Structure 1
């Protein structure tokens, strides 16, 4: 198992309260559990109200809930339709899926509506319709000041139709808005929000019609300043270009983990971008490389679960890993 030294600076809600940087030799570890989630990939994994949720994936799957306190998984309601290739967010006490694909490879279709899961009631509901001309899946999604932002994505499954679109949705006013396009299209990635900026890093331009499904990975990281309404590109490219990545915002970093590329095994690399400097850091590697899932942060612990251990969809897994984050408060 790899042991890597890294630094973490955490910025809390009050931006003036910055912790001291600290060296750590923490590493990812696989949890020995008595219960496990449904093995799946092209799903999402996120934290919501102190617990972790695994939703969607190929086939119609149940929602799986992980309680970090009891270290147990439980199965909840199945999704009303097959939902995959999406990045869910926690909003207004529920989990929202805004932009997803449905159906079999390679011509998966964009989902027409927002789908919402209520963990307290253990039930799904169909939300507002997504404008027909802007529907896509495999896109990044972030929440900022009550608005939901959709970044890039793909319109025609794995066949093609990747886009550089950026849209916002106001759930209160039920208003969609088209924003400036990103510098380049990308799909099979997750977005992060850091200090009012949307980070689009990792991903590829998937093109089964040219037999380039895994080839065209994107090294550049693009950054959208929501206040200024402008895009820029980070100084340095991501050290390990790959798609199918897991993404989370941690303090002042956008963390990109796992993924897939032309190599057979899924990636175990974890790398973090500091948008302020445009530089990347290497973080501890996963125990098991995986793609098509997500990252969830609860009480200073970073979790991942499920996904696929090889390129494509040939080896779905159900393991759960955790990394203890080194945080020193002032």
Structure 2
């Protein structure tokens, strides 16, 4: 295909704002057209998307509010792409990049300053949707910067089998911490312990009393909680935090499909236990990416960190893949492959 040529562009569009559980019918497959040229003077880049990450981030963008996806527009999310044309001095044709793109074959990225150029291609490019991309940097920033861990501390990670939780647990083990994770199936619990090196893990769906479960694994309490779930899990954790405990709020996936979020009742423990709870966004830590990627690449190459991916072929598989994030059956980082380079 020649530069400037107009070609068809398959897309996954948002049908309308989503309230309640996400359904495949909330998204629609469509075909538009695109010119394979970045407009002169725009400082934009035109990319061919290769991998798209299935993330709770995309689900959150489907609810009406600031920065929401407009109905009729392509789903927004993180991905890996190849630059086909560039009007920006920092990017050239043939560069591989990762960052926020759209669920379509080709995307015009109008603000490429938020994209990261991929310099290390001796690992699979799909890793930049996961351990070397947004989930990895999120885990690194939340654990090391927000939680300020110390060797020997007790760490609990909810949704530990998720893309971020897996990485947090591995960072914590490399730091010399004792790590327990929760997941939604016995198979995931086994993998957390046998593949990802967690000291212990439990199936929260089998626990009728989360407070009792946490006391079983943390008889002396936990120093750090990496929060991915919210709701009743957060309430139980507050009962089991040690004095001066730290909670990094990465997400609350249990609340995404609720029209009204669940209340949290054990807030008085923030005072009596001097707990610090801090929400964070990965975008605030983009400046740490070079330090993060150097460290993590080293760990991967030395076999100290492992990666589990579930590669799904085809853009048309996107709606079902995104919905499946909420059924508890996803094993590994879920990635859409829409082009083979």
**Structure number with larger C-alpha Rg:** 2
TM-score, normalised relative to structure 1: 0.28
TM-score, normalised relative to structure 2: 0.27
